[in-house]
Structure 1
Amino acid sequence: KVRFKEAYLDTIYTLSENKLSPYLIFNTGKYHYPAEERYQQKENDERVKIDYVMESTTLIIFQFRQRGEVYTGIYNKDTQITQIAKGQNFVNDIDHFMPLNPRNCNTDNEYVDLVQANTILEWMEEHPEVNPDGKFSFIKGINEESNPVVILMK
Structure 2
Amino acid sequence: MKDAETAIELSRVQVRLIVPGERATWDELMREHHYLGLKALVGRSLRYVAQYEGRWLALLGWASAALKCAPRDAWIGWSGALQWQRLRLIANNSRFLLLPGPRVKNLASRILGLNLARLSEDWERVHGHGLVLAETFIDPSRFAGTCYRAANWL
Q: Is this a same-fold pair by TM over 0.5?
A: no
Which one has the largest radius of gyration?
1
Q: Of the two structures, which has the highest relative contact order with CA contacts closer than 8 Å and spacing of 6 or more? A: 2
TM-score normalised over the length of structure 1:
0.25
TM-score normalised by the chain length of structure 2 = 0.25
Identify, as 1 or 2, the structure richer in helix: 2
